[in-house]
């Protein structure tokens, strides 16, 4: 798990990822895996510290993630309790490093750290994208995907977003989008959006091969792999759309803006769906991490 934690009182920054100089550090388990050449998957720490409500954030499986690749022990407990942990996008990493702050990384920041550490596979729930309101707002995740050569596994973009606009912007940025065993670009909570993916891939080994081919061409963008949420947890498209519409009305009424919009809308959708969206969120996070692990193993086999 990628995160940024405050420098410990003794200044110990041991556990540097092989080949990557300080300030990126990692936990012992991650360092051992790097040294042994075992497959690794980067996860997003913001989903624990901000994305999922307490205590559901503890149910999400983690690897472990100065900048730190891997969270564990007291650090992990502090992030789960949200004790002084701020949400960091890629633009916030350097200031937080200089000031010794604790910070949970978004998709954009996690991709930045993963790329800097030479890690090739990242899993999250849903990426950010083009917002429905206001029209000019879009997530830094999109630019990060255009500039970080990391396989990114997700359940599409969050349902609260302008999904056609997000898919179009990914195309404009030259991000390769692959549908894993699906012909549709999923909508996070729902499998069906009516938006077709450019390419359907049915095997993790082929995803690994496509990534290797992309890197051989010198491409520096991510490979975005989307898969629908598990069928037994996915919500009907009509239910999601109605919940999102209601959430947008609530946001306008109370004047929610900026970085607080996404967590506010997700919480409103959870209320509107009587908690079903939270169950879907946890299920798709687990499924995406599992697929990312399969891809990471396949990448190792191609070396």
Active site residue 44: yes
DSSP 8-state secondary structure symbol assigned to residue 154: E
Tokens, residue 205 = 């080994």
The answer to whether the beta carbons of residues 251 and 268 sit under 8 Å apart is: yes
Tokens representing residue 24 in the block: 């990126």
What's the chain's Rg over C-alpha atoms?
18
Tokens 């633009």 identify what position? 91
- Residue of 87, 120, 158, 270 with catalytic role: 158
The DSSP code for 15 is -
Rounded CA-CA distance 150/119 in Å is 7
Choose, from 44, 120, 270, 294, the residue flagged as catalytic: 44
Query: Kind of pairing, strands 42-43 and 25-26?
Result: unpaired
- Taking the C-alpha atoms of residue 274 and residue 47, their distance in angstroms, rounded to an integer, is 20
Is 120 a catalytic site residue? no
Q: Is the dihedral of CA 151, 105, 40, 36 positive or negative?
A: positive
Query: What count of Cα atoms within 13 Å lies in the side-chain half-sphere of residue 52?
Result: 27
- Token digits for 156? 């599409």
Contact (CB, 8 A) for 108 and 283: no
Q: Identify which of 199, 40, 185, 197 has the alpha carbon closest to the alpha carbon of residue 127.
A: 185
287: CB partners within 8 A, 6+ apart: 155, 227, 229, 230
Q: Would strands 151-154 and 223-226 be described as parallel, antiparallel, or unpaired? A: parallel
Cα(52)–Cα(49) distance, integer angstroms: 7
| Catalytic positions | 44, 158
């Amino acid at each position: 798990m990628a995160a940024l934690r405050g420098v410990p009182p003794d200044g110990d920054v041991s556990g540097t990822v092989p080949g990557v100089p300080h300030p990126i550090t990692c936990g012992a388990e991650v360092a051992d895996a790097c040294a042994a050449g075992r497959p690794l998957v980067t996860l997003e720490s913001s989903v624990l510290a901000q994305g999922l409500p307490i205590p559901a954030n503890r149910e999400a499986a983690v690897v472990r993630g100065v900048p730190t690749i891997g969270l564990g022990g007291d650090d992990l407990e502090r992030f789960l309790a949200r004790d002084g942990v701020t949400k960091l996008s890629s633009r916030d990493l350097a200031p937080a490093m200089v000031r010794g702050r604790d910070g949970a990384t978004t998709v954009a920041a996690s991709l930045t750290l993963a790329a800097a550490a030479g890690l090739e596979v990242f899993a999250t729930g849903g990426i950010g994208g083009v917002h429905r309101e206001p029209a000019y707002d879009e997530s830094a995740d999109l630019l990060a995907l255009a500039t970080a050569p990391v396989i990114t596994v997700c359940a599409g973009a969050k349902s609260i977003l302008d999904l056609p606009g997000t898919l179009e912007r990914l195309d404009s940025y030259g991000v390769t989008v692959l549908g894993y065993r699906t012909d549709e670009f999923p909508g996070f909570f729902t499998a069906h959006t009516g938006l077709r993916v450019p390419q359907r891939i049915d095997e993790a080994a082929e995803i690994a091969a496509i990534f290797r081919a992309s890197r051989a061409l010198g491409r520096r963008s991510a490979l975005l792999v989307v898969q629908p949420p598990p069928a037994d947890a996915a919500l009907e498209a009509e239910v999601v759309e109605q919940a999102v519409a209601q959430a947008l009305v609530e946001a306008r009424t109370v004047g929610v803006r900026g970085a607080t919009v996404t967590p506010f809308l997700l919480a409103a959708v959870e209320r509107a769906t009587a908690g079903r969206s939270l169950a879907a969120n946890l299920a798709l996070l687990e499924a995406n991490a599992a697929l990312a692990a399969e891809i990471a193993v396949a990448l190792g086999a191609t070396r």
